[in-house]
A and B are shown apart, each in its own frame.
Chain A
Amino acid sequence: MKKAIFALLAVFSIFIQADGVFCHPHVFIDAELFFVFDDRGLSGVRERWVFDEMFSQNLLVDFDSDGDGRLNVEDVSRLRDIFYENTKEYNYFNIITIDGRKHHIDRLKKFSVSIESDCIVYEFFVPCSVPVGTAEEKKVKVLLFDETIYTHLTIADYQFDMKKKPGAFSVKMRYEMLDEVVTPLGSLVPDSVVITFRKK
């Protein structure tokens, strides 16, 4: 029933203007992506989300339990739990494809929250193991998108991290803007990064 209503909303929305049913963005995030490699290939993506300052102050008021301008362990736990609970079914706003096939994110790792220049910063690791050999090339695409349109995510920077095995892989990265749109709501054209790699 729920799915039927959601689908009807989407279809109806597309019908009347090819626009999203849900509200325009109210939260703005600049994201940095770090593609992390291990011995076998890509192990996942470390992400750093910097919230806009105005919303960050709103978050702080609600979650800084002792009002000292810092977030203690309990505050971070609450933020993490709410974030996981609300975004898990949206794949944590990450749409990752490996050679064109969708990668399901079961859970995030190493979640932390900090405050930098009055902005809240979330950091976490998205597991996405993609082993690769010398003969083949793998293509991974990461697209950041909140399909409820409440949050607007911009990819501010991206790089790869090959500290565990420097120079072991040949890597090409490309930032794609305005080249794809996610259905069913299709209201925003999200940022994405495509990384192709093979073992040297």
Chain B
Amino acid sequence: MKRLLFIFTLLLFLCPSIAAAQNPFLDRGKDNTEAERTESEFSPPSFLQKVPRFIAIWQKELRANMTTFGRDIREHPFGSSFWLFLLLSFLYGIVHAAGPGHGKTVVASYFMNRPGSVRDGIAMANLIAFFHVTSATVIIVTVYLVLKKSGMSSFEGASPTLHKISYFLLLLLGLYLFSRTLYELVKGKHKNDRDSQDTAVGGGILVTAFAAGIIPCPGAAIILTFTMIIDIIATGLLSMVFIALGMGLTVSIAAVSTILFRRTVFRATQRNPKVFTVVYAILSFGGSILLISLSGLLLLYYLR
């Protein structure tokens, strides 16, 4: 029971949503809504609400130090600053992915619905992080090579299209998972899950990771662009690998927590077929509905 509570608490921490806003200092704006507020609508923050503030402040500190080390690398290419820059890139990846986004909700939804091993969870998490950072890298490098310029404007231009593609793919994935759950429950195939070897299909992991990861990471893009501006491009490209590894670690915690949570709940209920069926339905439908709702709403928001 203690283990269950621990995993559940971890999940709460690690499953914020996946969208991204546009940069207010670079883009021509989109029409946004404004809610009229009065003081009465403010409320004291809970501990969970304070956590994102700490995450933001850590990122700010890490970025400031990376800026200093980056400038030093230009003078001493393989000095201690080079290694510290890579180390901070890794830490930045960890902390950055702890904030909203980066596919934590996607991995949680997927592994609520589908079985998987710890290795599957780590694989999907790292693939999402890899695609997320690679997507940003490809845009920035392409703009640099083709247009012979560095800068975030072109990145911000390409980003909304990739958001729409990602949410559309995730919506399809959510609908597929929902239908499959329905089919398995109707046909009684869900009972096999009790005896399954807890492994996921490799293709499913790859497709899900691609769908969630193609949204380019603005955090990585800002760092890569900065390294281009100060002419340490090789270090910048290498730092992308470290950022992806850091992000992968954080997202892995979300994935593995979900896998362990599902496995623990299923094992606890497998002796009673009726209870197992109910638990299976709640988790599996819950995962797919979470994915459908979030991707659908975000797709609508971006298409508006």
Contacts and interface: CB of A to CB of B under 8 A. Distances in A.
A104 to B, nearest CB: 9
Interface residues of B, number: 72
B293 interface: yes
Interface of B: 12-13, 15-17, 19-29, 31-46, 48-50, 52-53, 55-57, 59-60, 63-64, 66-67, 96, 99-101, 105, 149-153, 218-219, 222-223, 225-226, 229-230, 290, 293-294, 297-298, 300-301, 304
Interface string A88-110: 01110001010011100000000
Interface in A72-123: 79, 82-83, 85-87, 89-91, 95, 97, 100-102
A17 B17 CA distance: 8
Given A8-B297, A24-B55, A181-B49, A19 B39 contact: no
Interface stretch (A39-47, A54-62, A127-135, A161-169): A54-62
A54 B66 contact: yes
Contacts of B23: 26-27, 150
Contact of B45 (A24, A51, A52, A180): A180
A190 B16 CA distance: 19
A26 B59 CA distance: 9
Interface of A: 1-3, 5-6, 8-9, 12-13, 16-28, 51-55, 57-62, 79, 82-83, 85-87, 89-91, 95, 97, 100-102, 141, 146, 148-152, 154, 178-184, 186-189
B42 A181 contact: yes
Given A54-B223, A89-B32, A181-B42, A16 B27 contact: no
10 contacts: A5-B304, A21-B17, A22-B100, A23-B99, A26-B222, A57-B225, A57-B229, A62-B153, A89-B32, A90-B24
- Ranked 4 nearest A-B pairs via Cβ: A24-B99, A148-B21, A23-B20, A86-B29
A70 to B, nearest CB: 16
Given A1-B304, A86-B29, A91 B100 contact: no
Contacts of B290: 16
A182 B37 contact: yes
Nearest to B63: A54
A71 B5 CA distance: 55
A166 B159 CA distance: 51
